[in-house]
Structure 1
Amino acid sequence: MIDIRDVEVVAPNFKRRLSGVTSTIIQLVPVQRSLGQKVATLGPGLPADLPHIRYRDLWALWVPPRGKRFRVWHARRNIEMLPAILMRGMLRMPLKIVFTSASQRRHTGWTKWLISKMDAVIATSNKTADYLAVPNTVILHGIDTDRFSPPVEKAEAKRARGLDPMKKFVGCFGRVRHQKGTDVFVDSMIRLLPARPDWAAVVAGRATGPHVDFENGLKAKVAAAGLADRILFVGEHTDINEWYRALDLFIAPQRWEGFGLTPLEAMATALPVIATDVGAFPELLVTGDQETGVIIAGGSADAMIEAAASFMDNESRRHAAAARSRAHVLENFSIEGEAKRLGNIYRITASA
């Protein structure tokens, strides 16, 4: 618990189930606090060790934080914008409302109205910004480049995951479902691996509810191809950073994505990345002469096979892209950089 008088930014999370938004809050708030930003969370579904306030503390929002005229409320969902609008408008609380949008589709009239009432709007990508009808600032997500970092010794990283250290591995990480393109990855590997006995594939992630049958169908297809020992379904892992370290190539095969952190996590681990042209992926990778990877059409197994083969069969290209990937993320996508840019938005908004 934290004293509301010392809270300058409230980060609400009004959704109990874990989501990308929730994960962003969990990762960002400790970094923001380490940079001196007086941020506290509000709502369910968050770790107990995060600085937080209680719902009954909201009455104290009538009084601004020490030494400030306004407190910032940083919403990331409609259900978090609305109460702030009511508290600021009807209850006359000294609040400034910041909203972060990750949506890449046309907003409903209701959402447009809510966004129009914001004091500042942040877009998580240029593609997202294109769907906003109000002035906004683009701040792309960053990641923890200490957690996601290359292994000291690749063979040992593979042994630690129970993988053959003599083989090279290509991975696809994330929820197992049609939207995420897991089937395109599996179909591509079924066609690629028979001619490349030194390579194997890893699918890491969880299938839930109706997607369990989808995953079982993929496993059956792999078994029928005689590749059950080379296309591995390893499930969900909290130490996913260690699984990245065991890879030699990463593929993000999504058919649709709001933002998508997996390419950044892979590049930070010094991996070349093949990603589809969805979400923010084209804004994350560098292609061309200084490539960190390549962008391909979503849903196309042929495009994925061509791109993957070009890295699997060319060790020097793979290693060069891997080295550039790590440097690219360190320079442009650290979570500290994201937190600093958010801090600037808070400062400008609260002083306006």
Structure 2
Amino acid sequence: MEYGIETRCCHGVTEIVKEHSFGAVSVPIYQTATFAHRGIGESTGHDYTRVSNPTRDELEQTISSLEGALDTVACATGMAAISLVLELFDTGDHLICSEDLYGGSVRVFSAVGERRGLKFTYVNTADAALVEKNIGPDTKALYIETPSNPTMQITDIRAMKALADKYHLLLIVDNTFLSPYFQRPMELGAHIVLHSGTKFLAGHNDTLAGFVCTATEELKERIRYLYKTVGNCLSPFDSYLTLRGIKTLAVRMERQQENAMQIAEWLKKQDKIKQVYYIGLPDHPGYEVNKSQTDGFGSMISFTTDTEETARRILERVNLIVFAESLGGVESLITYPMLQTHSDVPVEVRERLGITECFLRLSVGIEKAEDLIADLRQALE
């Protein structure tokens, strides 16, 4: 029987539960580094936790089920997941990336990828013609975020898939902002899907995790080999915490989206707020494309204030909303991208994208929307 995504969030791959020791409903935490052999050449199916672990296996199979992936590996962080994918490429290989990209991704591409001889071009991937114009003989992959972090640009995944097929490229999609509950890029042709599992998947601001989902047998084998070789695996306890978070992914995402819509509409009416970036607003330039490839809008909002003073006053005066990095948890967080998440992006690029001293990013949680609005109102006054 094919279960809905809400059921799969709650129960995972349901037949696995029947295999839990003593009928445990929650996944047992196999907090062990190694596993005993029953004899020479015999294995229980697990030999060493760097390679595989029963707790992590269940998490990986759950993510594969949600994303529609052939396989998933769970990494220590989202950055570890991105670094693992970089190992697929060789000196001289070229990747075309969304110009509005998480600052940590830009940092690892520059500090690690370029030092290894990889080449990166950043373009507005919402413009398929511009992407195609930048494809060259050394181009090996398209790397996109949609919605992008933090200006919420939308890329047409189907258009990128068409280009990937035409030029024999890998299509890599960072799906952190919407999670598989709202967006499943593999259904649209992505070869690799990445997540910072720290965010919406785990959902409680209490653990770090990352995921690499693969769509083909060849990619599965390559990633699995690199995974055990590099050793950036997720621990059993963090695997448990992430699985526990995923159980409520559906209800959290729905509530957070509901709150975000109310807050975005309120922000648009404020004199001191000059622009609101939320993909659920019909006037967002990517609204129709996003609707065509997702089941929702998520809960990430960015906005621009009238002055730097207003932006700083909001950050210093919010009480309920927490001034902190990260996103996707049950608690609402507000971030100053130019100093926090995107400080490694060149100034001229940040300013061209609109990530200025007046630009703030809000991750909306599950609190009462009216309370969050009241907190923003008093911070603005």
TM range (shorter): 0.3 to 0.5
Q: Which structure has the larger Rg?
A: 1
Q: TM-score, normalised by structure 2?
A: 0.30
Question: What TM-score, normalized to structure 1?
Answer: 0.32
